[in-house]
Structure formats: C-alpha cells, structure tokens
Structure 1
Amino acid sequence: MKVMIVEDEMLLAMELESEVEAAGHEVAGIAMNSNQAHDLVASKKPDFAFVDVQLMDGPTGIDIGVWLSTNGIPYVFVTGNVKRLPPDFAGALGAIEKPYTMNGMRNALNYISAIVSGEEGPDIPASLVLASDSQPQPVYR
C-alpha cells in the first residue's frame, strides 16, 4: 500500500514514515501543507493517507481530508484533539490521537491496511477511533 503522510512536524512525520515502512508499506511522500498534499496526490497517487488536522498553513487538514475523500482516497486523521473533528469525521475512516505509541500505530496500520485492501480486518485496535457508525461513510475500492 502506498501511504501519504500529511504532517508539518518533521520529527513526527519521519517517525510515522519509519513505522509505515517497517510494516512493509511504501511511503508515497510527506506533505507539510495543503499545496504539497495536492501535488503528492497528483504525482504519486497514494492508496491511503495519514492526515494531521493542524498544519503550518492553518487547520487545513480537514479540508485536505474532505478533498481526499471526494477523490476516493481513504485516510485517517492523526490529531492531538479528536473532539475537535467534525461529527462525520469529514469522510475519514477514523482518527488516531496524539501522542500515540508505536505499537498503537502499528496495530492501527494493520487494521487500516486490511480495510483498504478489502479484506476482513483484525479487531479494531484501541488506538483507532472510528468515525460514527451513524454517519454515511465513503466506499473505497
């Protein structure tokens, strides 16, 4: 799976990149703002994205998420405050709250990978807050 990371804190982005690669996935690239995210999607066509909510160009992670969702790219928010997400999670599969543990991120990535691949996933990891079941969720193929 090709994974895009949208995170403006380089240390966190590199840590997540390392975890994604250790899990056997390819990192399509790291975007630190909305322009870089749009460019990465156009050039690398990721299968999935981790998206921080508060980026260097403002709280545009939600806007990026909505845009990813309309383009059929599943994503998960990585944020310090899940409660500030819109009730429908802006089309995200869910969210991982910062600070996260490497084990928690690994378990979430395994679950997400199975879902994106269309397989039956393992049990939902505690580190992943899923979007409300009452909200319609996009279908990914």
Structure 2
Amino acid sequence: MGGDRCGKGLRVLVVEDEVLIALELECLLDDLGHTTIGVAASSREAIALGQADPPDVALVDVHLVDGPTGVEVGRTLSADPRTTVVFMTANAKRVPDDYAGAFGIIAKPYTERVVASVLHYLCERRAGRTGDRPGPELSLDGFNLAPRARA
C-alpha cells in the first residue's frame, strides 16, 4: 500500500460494549495491518479517547453500556476532520438520516470482508488514491454509505 498512512495501517478506535465483539475487532484490525488505539464501552470513555488522541477511524456501535449513545459519540468524533466515523450496529434505524457525520454503517452481524473492504477504501481515500465516492467495491451487503460521505 505504500509508505504513507496506509502503508502503516490506520489508527482505529473501537467503540463497542460487548467484550467478545471488541476483541474480535481488535484481532481483525491487527490481521489487516491496522492499529487499535483504544477500546471504549461508554460514550464518555469513547469521546475522551477520541479527543485525547484522534484516530483515523472510529468504529462505533450505536448502543453502548450507557444506552443508545453511539450517535452522540459519532457526531462528536466526526467533528474532528482527522477522524472518520463508521457505525457498526444492528440498530441502523437509530442512526439519523444525516448519519451524524459518519461515513456509513456496517450492519451487524458483519463479515470480515465488509470491514476489510471499508477500511481499505478509507485508507486509499486518505492517501488520495480514490475519489470522493466509493465504486462498486463498496457495494457490499452489510454496508450503507452516508448520503454525503467524507473521510
């Protein structure tokens, strides 16, 4: 992938309150060459981690240990242009029509292929090697692109 941020992988914040899912994501991120910079189970913890050390990508569940607060987390973290938020949720209907500033939604249960494809696209986009909107490679079952995607 080159010697830029993509060559080193993305720095990812996992916002997930289910321990097994969080561990699975950490392992997948590691296998894909990305770095997990933190795991948060609550909105307060997620916002604190994301603001202290802004990640390249935040994978955010909608329903956290402190309730359906993931949308607030997504909106707050996506306010920093250095961070791209992707919701990972079985509750896609809880995400507002504007996606709360997120790039899109990966539906749970997710597949490793969808997560890998989305992260690869975001990595390529960050490096300036792809356009503003993804091509057919992201027309995958289990991924919904925000109306006006940004990375």
Question: Is the structural similarity TM-score above 0.5?
Answer: yes
4+ residue runs over 6 A deviation: none
- Provide Cα deviations, 1:91-128, integer angstroms capped at 9, x if missing partner: 10000000011222222221222223332166214032
Q: Distance in 1 between matches of 2:23 and 2:120?
A: 19
Q: Unaligned stretches of 5+ in structure 2?
A: 1-9
Per-residue deviation at 1:44?
A: 2.9
The alignment status of 1:94 with 2:109, answered yes or no, reads no
What is the percentage of aligned positions where both structures have the same residue? 40
Q: Find 2:32's aligned residue among 14, 23, 27.
A: 23
The alignment status of 1:124 with 2:134, answered yes or no, reads no
What TM-score comes out, normalization by structure 1 length? 0.87
Q: Distance in 2 between matches of 1:75 and 1:105?
A: 13
Per-residue deviation at 1:87?
A: 0.4
Q: Distance in 2 between matches of 1:116 and 1:51?
A: 19
Q: Find 2:86's aligned residue among 62, 76, 82.
A: 76
Give the paired residue count: 136
- Partner amino acid for 1:66? R
Q: Distance in 2 between matches of 1:26 and 1:44?
A: 13
Q: Distance in 2 between matches of 1:109 and 1:125?
A: 14
The alignment status of 1:103 with 2:133, answered yes or no, reads no
Question: Is residue 111–residue 125 contact of structure 1 (8 Å, CA) maintained in 2?
Answer: no
Q: Unaligned stretches of 5+ in structure 1?
A: none
